[in-house]
Structure 1
Amino acid sequence: MRTMQSAVKLRGWMQAVVAVALVSLVAACGGGGGSSSSSNNSSSTLNGGSLPASPTQQPTASTAANTVPITVGVGTNGVINIPTVSVTVCAPGSTTNCQIINNIQVDTGSFGLRVVGSVLNQSLLGALPVSSVASGAQLAECATFADGYTWGTVRTATVQILNQTGTGETTSTAIPIQIIGDLASSTVPSRGCGSGSAENTVSDLGANGILGIGTALTDCGTTCSTPSTAVNYSNYFSCPGGTSCTRATVPLNQQVANPVANFPVDNNGVIVQLPPVSNTGQSSATGTLVFGIGTQSNNALAPAQTFATDGYGDMNNSVYNGTTVQAFFDSGSNAYFFADSSIALCGSNYPGFYCPSSAQTRSITLAGQNSTTASVSIGILSASTLFGSTSNYAFNDLAGQIGGSSSFDLGLPFFYGRHVYYGFDQTANGGQAPYVGFF
């Protein structure tokens, strides 16, 4: 799920898997993954094709203070391949006016916490101060994605991410978050917002909120804090009385912030760990989100393959089919998304997804800004075959088309059986440059 800085993220799956969503079943849970509906590499499924060997890394235990469990399953309304965690939101300065919110999507392709306002109780919602700009007007945000947007106020809250043992991490202070859908649809600005569909409800979003934990510390950066660029490109708006919203210049400390970067410790990055799953899908999968890289005994970087990136986690010199592409690891995408005319599309039944007649293998050469390169092979099965089991929600070989040929989205299928690393951009304070990695 990519925000305004690099709006190449595709979430067409919201329409494409509607048939799956409407017949959701209770997902199995526990362990590293749920049951699969058929054999891993049956000849009928491959249909004369082949898939690359699947990675085999297992997640570490999610019992340490710097870890929380990730669940891929039926979720709020049965959308496939959505990894979720539980997040606790507290009123600033309070340890009692708090609420645990389940089914928050883990999104390494965006930055900052966004919560659908309707899932918050009124006591907490009323205690979250609405941010304001210099004029005193309410501050709102239109976070735009390739297929839609979220619209709502910017408020401050203390954010906790705790595991099942009750331990976890808490932001050092209250930070800016977005409350999705707490402003009327009539207030959406006609200029600078509203491209695509509004995703301001749980059913539209497919989750109760989004936890953006990619490499950037804020969701817009200098684009929105510099007047000369903010006037045309800011995704923040000044709304006097909650209406008549116009673009606003917003300093970094008022922008929606990456919560993990604001923890007192373990704040230099994250590791997303998911177990291997069957090539024909599983009902669920359980992994681990680890806070910090190289800060504890359970979050060492070695022996990962790492790539220096731009500030938003993109590997801009990667190559697919002889074309230079912007590649990125995005847990907020529920499939691989890339352009390849040699792979058959599904048609109107699952629009935008690939439906090859036989199993396919494709390779991309990833290239970091530090000149590190590595070839990665991915497997692709027909979406119509995978979606044939309506009780499965975890898939490692689902792929779809992306507009244009300049981007390659390594979505959630890439994460199964791997540990994927995101080193935060700390260069503004003389710290590490952003990077991603995996093993």
Structure 2
Amino acid sequence: MQIHRRVLLAAAFAAILSTIVLSGCGGGGSDGSNSTAPASAAPASSPAAASASQPAPPAPPPDDTVAQSTTPNVQPIRVSKLVTNTRNMLMTSVTVCVPGTDDCQTIDDIQVDTGSQGLRILASALAPLALPAVTNGGGSNAAQCTVFGSGYTWGAVRTADIKLAGHVARATSIQAIADPAVPAAAADCTKSGLPMLTADRLRSNGILGVGPFSADCGGACASAALPRWYYACASGNCTASTLPVAQQVTNPVARFPADNNGVLIELPAVPDGGASAVAGTMTFGIGSQSNNLLGDATVLKGSALSGFVSTNFDGSTFSTSFIDSGSNGLFFPSKDLKTCGFWYCPPSPTSLTATLRSASGVTRDVSFAVSTSTMLFASGNNAFSNLAGPVGNYFDWGLPFFYGRRVFTAFEGRVTPAGKGPYYAF
């Protein structure tokens, strides 16, 4: 049984470090602009102050006023049996089109990932769709290395219209994985883990990253040529390169004309022994329609740089903590739970508790269970709420966390009824 962690951990840490000398790119990235503009100097000849009889200028709208939408915004999602027999993989179907045309195809088995940003699809699954290539400032084809917890993807950056529910993200940059139009992966990329360049290795036809940021890197990659991000490919060689934010691989939901401030994932609860299949929904927007209201959900603001919250568990605090539909288990360190390979396998089901804490100090207690992995896999089921495994010094609330919950991911800088993202709410 394969372990599958989709979150961009290595990339997130590199991005946070880069913010010491560069503009944003934390865990996903910002648009490179400052969130607070400096006050401008008064002109040499200032206009006279308004008299008492003049009407006051209208007050700016509050940060919680969300534009309303009537566009169909519900995308079906599912967990079911895969050819690779990988469990707990949340999938959907995505329609990809040549920009501005009706030349489209719908691609199934795309993993839904709240731990990364942008659409990445195997070039073999896109064929024969001819998507235009993105080029850098020098006119060379742009390629990208993307580092995940379970390996890396490599491929060309191309432009597509992306259709999800009733929305279209027009002229959006995507990664075409293993695209023959660019040379083999750069050497520094290949040192980032196992290659995920085929459907077997990827366990899917692609990844739909709907994490808490818009661009997958942001201002840092626009300012400097960072390793294991973007590359310029010419004459059979690829070298690290800058790429403007507008051309970077982008969270397609953030490019919708409406319902573009976050996503809501809803999955039913599953029995302790698992379920053979589960069907749910991914609803676009937060507070923009009657079907995506926060209600009484607890809002946990994330770090502005990384989107991370913190988790207190078993006497330790993990400041790197995230809610990630792209990981097929709960992953955290434990000195007490027995392991069987990549997974925990306590002799009997074990009930645990942890406390999530937001960047602003809001807390929420979470109860969860860990069962014997070998028994779960032997059941033949594909959806488990109690599958967990060990990792280093972080806490990954993977897909098991989503079962039986309404889980919101709010995007950086986008207005919601609870203020601007990034945040999680459930």
Partner residue of 1:105 out of 107, 111, 117:
111
In 1, Cα distance between equivalents of 2:195 and 2:398:
22
Tell me the CA shift for residue 184 of structure 1. 7.9
CA deviation vs aligned residue, 1:45-74 (integer Å, no higher than 9, x gap):
xxxxxxxxxxxxxxxxxx981001111001
- Work out which of the residue numbers 360, 379, 384 in structure 1 matches 2:374: 384
Corresponding residue pairs, total: 361
AA aligned to 1:339 is P
Which residue does 1:48 correspond to in 2?
Answer: none
Residue matched to 1:188: 185
Match of 2:74 in 1: 67
Q: What does residue 170 of structure 1 align with?
A: 168
Moved over 4 A (4+): none
On the 8 A contact 2:79/2:279 being kept in 1, the answer is: yes
Equivalent-residue separation in structure 2 for 1:427 and 1:286 (angstroms): 28
Is the CA contact (8 Å cut-off) linking 2:264 and 2:284 kept in structure 1? yes
SS at match of 1:191: helix
3-state DSSP of counterpart to 1:375: strand
Instruction: Please give the alpha-carbon distance, in whole angstroms, between the structure 2 residues aligned to 1:182 and 1:319.
Output: 42
Amino acid paired to 1:432:
K
Which one of the candidate residues 393, 411, 414 is aligned to 2:401? Answer: 414
Describe the shift of the 1:417–1:340 C-alpha distance in structure 2 as closer, same or farther (beyond 3 A).
Answer: same
Counterpart residue number, 2:11: 5
SS in 2 for 1:129: coil
Distance 2:183 2:260 in 1: 38
In 2, Cα distance between equivalents of 1:387 and 1:224: 41
Aligned to 1:327, the other structure's residue is in SS state: strand
Give the AA of the match of 2:167: E
Please state whether the residue corresponding to 2:11 is helix, strand or coil.
helix
Aligned pairs (5 A) from 1:207-286: 207-227=204-224, 230-231=225-226, 233=227, 235-241=229-235, 243-286=236-279
Residue in structure 1 matched with residue 127 of structure 2 by the alignment: 121
Letter in 1 for 2:217: C
- Aligned residue for 1:414, secondary structure, equals helix
Partner Cα separation in structure 1 for residue 74 and residue 82 of structure 2: 20
One-letter amino acid of the structure 1 residue matched with residue 192 of structure 2: S
Shift of residue 215 of structure 1? Answer: 0.5
Shifted more, 370-379 versus 414-423: the winner is 370-379
Q: 1:316 to 1:301 in 2, by over 3 A?
A: closer
Q: How does 1:15-34 map to 2 (within 5 A)?
A: none
Asked whether the equivalents of residues 90 and 157 of structure 1 are also in contact (C-alpha less than 8 Å), the reply is: yes
How big is the shift at 1:372?
0.3
Q: 1:86 and 1:192, CA in 2 relative to 1: closer, same or farther beyond 3 A?
A: closer
Q: Deviations over 1:272-304 (max 9, x none)?
A: 100011110110000000000000011101110
| Residues 1:432 and 2:426 are matched in the alignment | no
**Alpha-carbon distance between aligned partners in 1 of 2:241 and 2:306, rounded to the nearest angstrom:** 26
Letter in 2 for 1:401: P
1:369 is aligned to 2:359: yes
Amino acid at match of 1:282: A
Identity of paired residues, percent?
Answer: 41
Alignment partner of 2:260: what SS? coil
Q: How far did residue 318 of structure 1 move?
A: 2.6
Q: Is the 8 A contact 1:86 1:101 kept in 2?
A: yes
Give the drift of 1:179: 0.3
Within 5 Å, give how 1:335-346 maps onto structure 2: 335-346=329-340
Residue in 2 that maps onto 1:42? none
- Structure 1 pair 101/312, CA: closer, same or farther in 2 (3 Å)? farther
Q: Report if the CA contact (8 A) 2:413-2:421 is conserved.
A: yes
1: CA distance, partners of 2:181 / 2:254: 31
Q: What is the SS of the residue equivalent to 1:245?
A: strand
Check conservation: 1:214, 1:313, Cα contact below 8 A. no
SS at the partner of 1:142? strand
1:149 maps to 152
> Which residue, 306, 309, 317 being the options, matches 2:299?
306
**What amino acid is the match of 1:240?**
A
Aligned residue number for residue 331 of structure 1: 325
Residue 15 of structure 1: aligned partner:
none
1:74–1:196 CA distance, 2 compared to 1 (3 A) = same
Contact kept in structure 1, 2:172 and 2:252, CA below 8 Å: yes
Match of 2:97 in 1: 90
216 and 312 in structure 1: CA distance in 2 versus 1, 3 angstrom threshold:
farther
Shift of 1:6: 2.4
Paired with 2:83 and 2:106, the residues of 1 have a C-alpha distance of 15
Deviation at residue 185 of structure 1 after TM alignment: 9.3
Match of 1:318 among 306, 311, 317: 311
Give the aligned partner of residue 345 of structure 2.
355
Cα deviation for residue 143 of structure 1 reads 0.3
| TM-score, normalised by the number of residues in structure 2 | 0.81
* Aligned alpha-carbon RMSD (Å): 2.0
Letter in 2 for 1:414: F
